[in-house]
Every structure is written in structure tokens, then in C-alpha cells.
């Protein structure tokens, strides 16, 4: 490892020398974009002919391509990895405009975590993986000598060209995106690779930047106090859409999936090398939700709903909002060739040789090149994966990959946003009162980026399918899993024979759900490998299990976006959508809702804390500088991020203890950490005069009560009640719900008058009362359930823990 690191530094030093020599004539006063070549061609890298040829391959001998996860990949898999790590498919527009303007006063402030001056603490503060190929302007070897050249950002490969285009009106069309050179190995004529839109790294892996053609240098200098590098003025009025920053930022899949390789942790968490990173392991430390909320006001309902999520979790149905508060983890993509598959009928698009002339394009379409055609039909599929927490995205591997691109903003404007709920629309007849289904055929037809992705999705799929495991024995430097046993039983004090005994406990207690083999449980070798050294058991059945049987926090299981008529209808199998209602849950559970799939426990030693919301085990956190510590009842402290092998093992052991001893759990509930203030009339000055009113939800209420509240039904019932009263009609007994809704508000208004202020206060008690009628999920305890194993004696629990560390 040291040798590799030394080699990498030597490479950088050579680059730097080349740069210094080559830049003798550079002006001494730097402007943005003025710099010299960095890590680009110049004979420093030898193209690897096995990967590809031409411009695109100039970096193929670089550490990025020599990282452990890249070794031995086929050409198509190498390209698939590039897509995974770099392709944004145009979601920079989504992050720059859609997210901020459609949500209203809620911009995502990328600058807050990508500013160059944060590089030395970016992991600690945000859980972000610094890009090893970027550097800090002014540091030895970095081609950029000052932040004024980079607008305050890290300097990254390709910036020499990209920076020239900042503020150029034709940047969107004339700047040659690095993706343009990506070859199509089989030579098929397909949608241009330019539409994959790589841009250049924004300093952190998976985060990309693009030159903003609408950047106005004069305006910028005016608000920034005559400084190219300062974004202070911009941050102060980030919601003013007339002021645009130098860059638009995009996110590739890796932004949420990259983290430290558990078997190769870095010496310095803020200076990782490519060998320390895995782009498939899952960003388990990332403050994803907080990044999305980074430009929000803390007192907004959107901030409190979104940002109060644990590191490594995000509510992926926050933007395609289903009014269920359900942040979940980013799972590791690991050993997928052994992941269980299912036979399910799926109504979706499938590749066909051609479409007949004049065929209905609602069911058969080809790309403009005519090289790829797709037909939509209902058919039984033999190899369906259950991808999301409840087994959703059950339409095939390629479909699942493509849907995630849409959910992070690719083709959002062309295909997605018109199908989402407008939370302010209260007329059931009005457009966007609720969701309508995203149409894959329409998106293929109207969005070039979708076609660019779809034409190449097999390459990305193949890269993901080959991703391996992160076994503890490898992390500890042993040659086999057997060699790990003395370490577990001896050094970690589990005692002789613990692992073997633990295997039996696992077979009896866990393997029913957490194994993918089919033979007798007793005889199963959970660590077996095939001839190529790949693990045979995925250690999860992926079967959909009723959430009341698992007993864990229910809200994620009540996610509704994959139901018929909802936005992701075309990404749910017919079987899933026809699942019977699950009763006894804390919200509506029809149409496929109400389940959790039995997940994989491969390398579970590396992924604590547990459960889909990271709630079972100690709370973990980064530094406090950004103020994103969660306020959680039953958890007064948090364990600071420690990605070392010992750190992960320690967290695993503590989490296992809590898992197997439910009495030790804290009954965790995440609470809002600020008053939520929702103005419903003109804001008044100094609280004096005028009739403006603010709804206030006091700090300290349970987040899920706010996030799962169906406010439209609530408003509709109040409206209906008022209508009845105005019509002199009698409110029927069966409509007591409407009456209750009205009375709650009437009382709150009465209290407001008594307090002689203009605040309607909805406290926890009122929210609880309303939740009984208007919540999609009334569950509040986040670390409950999954009590399997609690009945074991202490010895068996220790044995089970010892064995599971080897998985």
C-alpha cells in the first residue's frame, strides 16, 4: 500500500514539475481558468490498449484505473465504472434550477461542502470522499496557484479546459464534455456520449461541475466584494435566481455509493488514494440528506423533514414526495451475481430487433439511430431482483439502474417533474394534486440523456454485477477465512469454538431469511466460494416479508411511489403491486406497500449500525461544525466516524449487542431541532399590526409526525366542514373526522387569540391527535423490532456475533 502511495505521489510530483516547467510564461496575475495541464496526456500515461484507444484512454494507467475495484475489468466494465463515477446525465440543471426554484427558497448549497477550503475536513464534516486526483490551489504540485483561478474550488483533472468556459454564453453547446470521447466498444451507432455529461470533478468523488454559461462576472464581483473566489455574497442570497454561480453542479451515482473500501481504509480520511475507495460499497458516512438541505432555512418544514436523517441515509421519496418520512441507507452493491432472482410478471420495455413500420410508438420505439428498439409488453421475467427496501424496482437490473438516474435529477425536466405532487395544490381537480406515472417511453423519446444512458446501461450493469465483497479476513491480511478464526476467538475474546458454534446459531436463527442457498440449513456453508473465488451465498433471501412480522420501524415499508397510478408505477412488478394488504401497520398498506425484503448480511462487520435506517446501534456522526447532529431521544451521545478496521468492528460488536438485547435499545425518536414556521399570509414587520398568520410547529416534535402528515386531506376536511356549516348543513356523525380536524384548528386559533399573537401552534399532542386520521405512518420508534435472537442465551449471542464478523 505504501509503495502504491509513494508511486502516486511521485507521479504527482512529476506532473507538478512538468507543470512548473511548462508554465514559465504564465502571467503572474491569475484569472479563473488560467492554469496548465494537469494529469492529462503529455506522455505521462501509457494508454492501456486492453481498455480502449484514443483520447478517452489517456488516463488508463492512472491510479484511478489501477484501483482494486478496477483491476481485471473487461473493457465494457471499465466504461461502466466511468459512467457510475462520472456520468450525471445532465442533472446539473436539476440541482441548479429545479430543486431550488420549484421547492421555493430552498436551494442546495453545494459550495458549502465543496469549497476548496473544506478539503482538509470534508470527510469529517460531511462524510464526503475527497477525489484523490484533485488538489488544493497553492499546494506544492497543484497546477493552480490560487483560489482565484478556480473560483475557490479544488483543482481537478480537466479544469484547464473547463474553467475557460465559465460564463461563456455557448458553454452548454461548445464546451466539449470529457464524456464525448467515451467509445462504444461494439461500434454501434447510439446516442452521443456527450449526453452522459461528465464535466470535471468538483473535488469529491461523484460530484461533478460544469461551466455555467449564465455566470455574469460583473454581477459576481459586485456581490462577492471583488473576489472571484468568495461565494459569501452568493450564499447570502442563494435563493435569488437572477444570480448564478460560476458552476452548475451535478451528481453521479457514485456520489451516494462511494466510500472507503472497508478492507483498505486510508491513513488520512481526508486524503484517500484510489486504492482506499470503493464506488459500490455505499456512502455509509455521507450526510446526504443534509447536503440536499444545505441551503434551506432551519425553520422551514422542508429542512426539518429532510435534514433530520442519520448519516448514510436519505429519503429517496423526498422530492418525488409520497408524504411518508422514510430515510433509508444506501446498500452495498456486492456479489450481485449471487443475489436471488424471482419470476414475476412485468409490464415494461424490452429490447427487440426492430419495430414494424407504422407501429404504435406507445408500445414500440427505436432510438433515432435505429440501432436499439424497445417493445412494451406484459411478460413473465425469470431474473427479477428485489432492489429497494420493500422489494421495489422489480422490473429488471437495467431498469433499476436507469430509475436511479431519474431520481437524482437526470431528465427531471423533460420526463419527471410534471408527474410529481405539488404540495401546495389543494384542489383535487387541479394538475399535480397527486402523482401520475412516469412514462419510460416518453422519456426515451424526449430526453437525449435517457437514451445515452439506456444505450450503455449494460456496461454499467456489468460493472455492478462483478463488484466483489469486503471480507474481514482480507482486511486483516489473512489468506483465508479460516485464518481469521483465531483472531476472532483469541484477540477479540470470543473464546475457543465460538465461530463454529455461532455458525450453528446462525443456521437455526438467522439463515431462514439471511441466506440464499437452497440446501439444508444445518449443512450450509455460508462462507463457501465458487471456482473463481466468488462467495456462493448472498446471505439474504430478498423475499418480501410483511413489515409487521419483522417489526422494525414501519414508515419505509409504507412508501407508496411504486403503486399503480403513482410516479414509479412502471418500476414495480405486477406481483408486487398485487400484494395483499398488510394489516396492523401504522398507515395504509395496500397496493404493494407494507413489506421489507430480507437483506444481505455479506460483510455485515463493516456496515453497522443496523436496519434500513441505521437506527439499531450507537448513533454515529462527523464533526459538529455544520451543526447536523441529530436530536434523538434515547441516544444522548454519538460515536465519531471511524472507518478503520478496528473502528468498524467495534461499532459492529456494539450494534450486535443492541440488536440481540432489545432492552438496551433507547426507543429512539428523531426530533425537530428548530421551530418550524410556515407563513400563511404576508409576513408582518416586527409582529406589529396586520392580519398575517404563521403556523408554528414547536422544536422537539417527532419528525415522522410532520413528514408523514397528509396535509391535503386535512385541509380538504376542514374545507368540507366549513362548507357544510356555511350551507347550514348538519355534519353527519360519520364525518366526525372532519369535525375533529376543524375543532383542532379552531382551538389552535382560539389559543392564538388568547395569547394575543399571530401564531397557530401545532404541538406534539395536536399532531398526534391529527395523525390518527391524517398520517401515512404514525410509527415513531425507529430502533424497534427485529427481535430475532433476543431469546438466545448470552453465550449463544456472543457466538453468533463472532460468526457474523466472518460473513
Partner 1 sequence: MNFISIAILMMFGTGFVSGFVSVAMAQQPWQTKQIKGVTFVIPKGSGYANKIDFAELERRYPVSKEALKAWTQEDIAKLGQEDLDQLYARLTAGPIPDGAFFGDIVFTKDGGFGSMFSQFTPNWDTGKAAFFKALDVFGQSMWKGKHFYRQEGILRNLIADGVMQTTAIRGIAQFLLGAKPDMSKVPRSKVGNTQYMEMFPAKLFCGQSLLDSRRESIIIDYAYGDNVSNYVPEVDRLATREGVAVRDEIRMVRPGLYLGRAYMRQAFGLIFSLYNAQAAQAGDESESCWTGTQPRK
- Interface contacts to partner 1, rule CB under 8 A: 93, 97-98, 101-105, 214, 237, 239-242, 412-419, 422, 424-434, 436, 439, 442, 445-448, 565, 679-685, 688-693, 715-716, 719, 722-723, 726-727
Phi-psi map region of 115: left, alpha, beta (phi>0 left; psi -120 to 50 alpha): beta
Select 110 or 652, whichever has its Cβ closest to partner 1.
110
CB of 159 to partner 1, least distance (A): 25
Select 390 or 591, whichever has its Cβ closest to partner 1.
591
8 Å CB contact between 529 and 535: yes
Select 237 or 337, whichever has its Cβ closest to partner 1.
237
Select 120 or 436, whichever has its Cβ closest to partner 1.
436
Select 29 or 685, whichever has its Cβ closest to partner 1.
685
Regarding beta strands 694-697 and 676-679, do their DSSP bridges make them parallel or antiparallel, or are they unpaired?
antiparallel
Element (H, E) at 449: helix 448-454
Select 235 or 657, whichever has its Cβ closest to partner 1.
235
Q: Name, in order, each residue with C-beta under 8 angstroms of 519's C-beta and a sequence gap of 6 or more.
A: none
CB of 741 to partner 1, least distance (A): 13
**What is residue 381's three-state secondary structure?**
strand
CB of 31 to partner 1, least distance (A): 24
CB of 454 to partner 1, least distance (A): 15
Q: How far apart are CA 216 and CA 576, in angstroms?
A: 50
Joined together, the cell numbers standing for residue 361 give 410508438
Laid out side by side, the sheet with 200-201 consists of 200-201, 207-211, 247-251
Regarding beta strands 342-352 and 373-384, do their DSSP bridges make them parallel or antiparallel, or are they unpaired?
antiparallel
Select 462 or 759, whichever has its Cβ closest to partner 1.
759
Select 213 or 785, whichever has its Cβ closest to partner 1.
213
CB of 205 to partner 1, least distance (A): 28
Element (H, E) at 760: strand 759-761
Q: How far apart are CA 792 and CA 519, in angstroms?
A: 24
Select 7 or 424, whichever has its Cβ closest to partner 1.
424
CB of 441 to partner 1, least distance (A): 10
Q: Name, in order, each residue with C-beta under 8 angstroms of 435's C-beta and a sequence gap of 6 or more.
A: 320, 322, 419, 420, 421, 561, 565, 566, 567
8 Å CB contact between 499 and 489: yes
CB of 374 to partner 1, least distance (A): 17
CB of 453 to partner 1, least distance (A): 14
Helix axes 397-407, 457-465, angle to 10 degrees: 110
Range list of β-strands (E), 588-715: 595-597, 620-621, 631-633, 639-640, 669-671, 676-679, 694-697
CB of 807 to partner 1, least distance (A): 45
CB of 749 to partner 1, least distance (A): 12
Cis peptide before 609 (omega within 30 of 0): yes
Joined together, the cell numbers standing for residue 99 give 430543486
User: What count of other Cβ atoms lies within 10 Å of the Cβ of residue 432?
Assistant: 15
CB of 522 to partner 1, least distance (A): 53
Of the candidates 111, 70, 392, 411, which has an alpha carbon nearest to the alpha carbon of residue 258? 70
Select 286 or 420, whichever has its Cβ closest to partner 1.
420
Select 105 or 268, whichever has its Cβ closest to partner 1.
105
Select 567 or 804, whichever has its Cβ closest to partner 1.
567
Select 221 or 719, whichever has its Cβ closest to partner 1.
719
Q: How far apart are CA 639 and CA 418, in angstroms?
A: 42
Select 25 or 429, whichever has its Cβ closest to partner 1.
429
CB of 371 to partner 1, least distance (A): 19
Q: How far apart are CA 555 and CA 552, in angstroms?
A: 9
Give the chain's radius of gyration (CA, Å): 27
Select 260 or 742, whichever has its Cβ closest to partner 1.
742
What are the residues facing 676 on neighbouring strands? 697
Torsion of CA 585, 588, 590, 593, to 10 degrees: -70
Of the candidates 54, 45, 34, which has an alpha carbon nearest to the alpha carbon of residue 12? 45
Of the candidates 570, 583, 514, which has an alpha carbon nearest to the alpha carbon of residue 542? 514
CB of 488 to partner 1, least distance (A): 54
CB of 748 to partner 1, least distance (A): 15
CB of 716 to partner 1, least distance (A): 7
Provide the b/e sequence for 16-34 (b: ≥16 CB within 10 Å). Answer: bebbeeeeeeeeeebebbb
Select 326 or 442, whichever has its Cβ closest to partner 1.
442
CB of 691 to partner 1, least distance (A): 5
Report how far apart, in Å, the C-alpha atoms of 703 and of each of 272, 312, 318, 418, 699 are.
35, 18, 13, 28, 10
Report how far apart, in Å, the C-alpha atoms of 79 and of each of 65, 83, 297 are.
11, 6, 40
Amino acid at each position: 500500500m505504501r509503495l502504491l502511495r509513494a508511486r502516486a505521489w511521485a507521479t504527482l510530483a512529476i506532473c507538478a514539475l512538468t507543470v512548473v516547467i511548462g508554465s514559465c510564461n504564465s502571467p503572474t496575475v491569475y484569472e479563473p481558468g488560467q492554469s496548465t495541464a494537469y494529469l492529462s496526456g503529455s506522455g505521462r500515461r501509457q494508454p492501456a490498449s486492453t481498455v480502449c484507444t484514443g483520447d478517452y484512454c489517456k488516463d488508463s494507467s492512472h491510479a484511478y484505473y489501477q484501483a482494486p475495484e478496477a483491476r481485471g475489468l473487461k473493457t465494457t466494465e471499465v466504461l461502466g465504472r466511468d459512467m457510475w463515477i462520472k456520468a450525471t446525465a445532465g442533472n446539473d440543471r436539476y440541482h441548479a434550477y429545479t430543486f431550488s426554484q420549484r421547492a421555493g427558497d430552498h436551494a442546495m448549497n453545494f459550495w458549502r461542502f465543496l469549497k476548496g477550503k473544506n478539503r482538509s475536513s470534508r470527510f469529517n464534516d460531511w462524510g464526503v470522499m475527497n477525489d484523490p486526483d484533485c488538489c488544493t490551489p497553492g499546494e506544492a504540485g497543484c497546477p493552480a496557484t490560487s483560489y482565484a483561478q478556480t473560483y475557490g474550488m479544488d483543482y481537478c483533472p480537466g479544469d484547464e479546459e473547463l474553467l475557460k468556459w465559465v460564463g461563456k454564453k455557448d458553454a452548454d453547446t461548445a464546451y466539449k464534455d470529457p464524456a464525448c470521447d467515451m467509445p462504444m466498444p461494439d461500434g454501434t451507432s447510439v446516442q452521443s456520449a456527450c449526453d452522459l455529461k461528465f464535466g470535471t470533478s468538483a473535488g469529491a468523488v461523484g460530484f461533478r461541475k460544469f461551466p455555467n454559461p449564465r455566470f455574469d462576472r460583473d454581477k459576481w464581483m459586485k456581490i462577492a466584494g471583488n473576489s472571484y473566489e468568495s461565494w459569501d455574497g452568493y450564499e447570502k442570497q442563494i435563493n435569488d435566481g437572477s444570480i448564478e454561480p460560476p458552476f452548475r453542479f451535478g451528481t453521479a451515482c457514485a456520489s451516494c455509493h462511494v466510500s472507503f473500501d472497508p478492507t483498505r481504509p486510508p491513513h488520512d480520511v481526508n486524503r484517500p488514494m484510489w486504492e482506499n475507495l470503493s464506488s459500490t460499497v455505499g456512502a455509509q458516512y455521507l450526510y446526504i440528506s443534509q447536503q440536499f438541505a444545505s441551503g434551506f432555512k432551519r425553520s422551514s418544514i422542508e429542512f426539518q423533514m429532510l435534514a433530520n436523517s442519520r448519516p448514510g441515509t436519505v429519503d429517496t421519496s423526498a422530492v418525488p414526495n409520497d408524504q411518508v418520512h422514510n430515510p433509508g441507507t444506501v446498500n452495498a452493491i456486492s456479489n450481485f451475481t449471487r443475489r436471488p432472482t424471482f419470476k414475476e410478471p412485468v409490464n415494461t420495455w424490452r429490447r427487440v430487433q426492430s419495430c414494424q413500420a407504422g407501429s404504435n410508438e406507445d408500445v414500440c420505439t427505436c432510438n433515432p439511430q435505429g440501432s436499439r428498439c424497445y417493445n412494451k409488453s406484459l411478460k413473465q421475467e425469470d431474473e427479477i431482483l428485489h432492489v429497494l427496501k420493500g422489494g421495489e424496482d422489480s422490473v429488471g437490473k437495467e431498469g433499476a439502474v436507469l430509475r436511479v438516474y431519474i431520481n437524482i435529477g437526470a431528465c427531471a425536466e423533460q420526463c419527471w417533474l410534471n408527474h410529481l405532487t405539488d404540495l401546495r395544490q389543494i384542489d383535487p381537480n387541479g394538475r399535480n394534486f397527486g402523482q401520475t406515472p412516469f412514462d419510460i417511453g416518453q422519456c426515451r423519446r424526449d430526453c437525449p440523456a435517457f437514451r445515452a444512458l439506456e444505450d450503455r446501461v449494460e456496461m454499467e450493469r456489468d460493472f455492478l454485477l462483478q463488484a466483489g465483497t469486503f471480507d474481514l479476513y482480507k482486511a486483516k491480511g489473512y489468506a483465508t477465512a479460516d485464518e481469521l478464526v483465531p483472531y476472532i476467538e483469541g484477540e477479540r475474546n470470543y473464546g475457543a469454538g465460538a465461530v463454529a458454534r455461532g455458525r450453528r446459531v446462525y443456521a437455526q436463527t438467522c439463515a431462514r431469511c439471511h441466506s440464499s442457498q437452497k440446501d439444508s440449513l444445518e449443512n450450509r456453508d455460508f462462507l463457501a466460494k465458487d471456482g473463481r473465488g466468488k462467495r456462493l451465498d448472498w446471505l439474504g433471501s430478498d423475499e418480501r416479508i410483511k413489515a409487521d412480522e419483522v417489526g422494525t420501524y414501519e414508515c419505509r415499508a409504507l412508501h407508496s411511489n411504486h403503486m399503480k397510478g403513482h410516479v414509479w408505477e412502471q418500476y414495480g412488478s405486477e406481483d408486487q403491486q398485487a400484494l395483499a394488504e398488510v394489516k396492523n401497520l401504522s398507515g395504509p398498506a395496500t397496493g404493494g406497500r407494507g413489506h421489507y425484503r430480507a437483506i444481505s448480511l455479506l460483510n455485515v462487520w463493516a456496515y453497522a449500525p443496523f436496519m434500513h435506517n441505521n437506527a439499531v446501534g450507537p448513533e454515529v456522526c462527523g464533526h459538529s461544525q455544520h451543526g447536523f447532529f441529530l436530536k434523538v431521544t434515547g441516544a444522548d451521545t454519538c460515536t465519531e466516524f471511524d472507518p478503520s478496521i478496528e473502528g468498524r468492528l467495534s461499532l459492529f460488536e456494539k450494534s450486535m449487542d443492541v440488536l440481540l438485547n432489545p432492552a438496551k435499545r433507547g426507543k429512539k425518536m428523531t426530533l425537530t431541532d428548530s421551530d418550524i414556521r410556515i407563513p400563511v399570509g404576508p409576513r408582518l414587520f416586527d409582529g406589529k399590526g396586520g392580519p398575517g398568520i404563521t403556523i408554528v410547529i414547536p422544536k422537539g416534535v417527532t419528525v415522522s409526525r410532520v413528514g408523514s402528515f397528509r396535509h391535503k386531506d386535512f385541509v380538504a376536511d376542514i374545507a368540507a366542514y366549513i362548507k357544510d356549516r356555511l350551507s347550514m348543513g348538519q355534519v353527519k356523525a360519520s364525518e366526525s373526522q372532519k369535525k375533529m380536524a376543524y375543532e383542532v384548528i379552531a382551538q389552535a386559533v382560539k389559543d392564538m387569540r388568547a395569547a394575543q399573537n399571530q401564531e397557530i401552534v401545532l404541538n406534539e399532542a395536536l399532531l398526534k391527535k391529527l395523525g390518527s386520521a391524517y398520517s401515512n405512518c404514525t410509527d415513531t420508534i425507529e430502533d424497534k423490532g427485529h427481535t430475532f435472537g433476543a431469546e438466545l442465551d448470552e453465550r449463544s449471542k456472543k457466538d453468533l456475533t463472532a460468526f457474523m464478523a466472518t460473513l
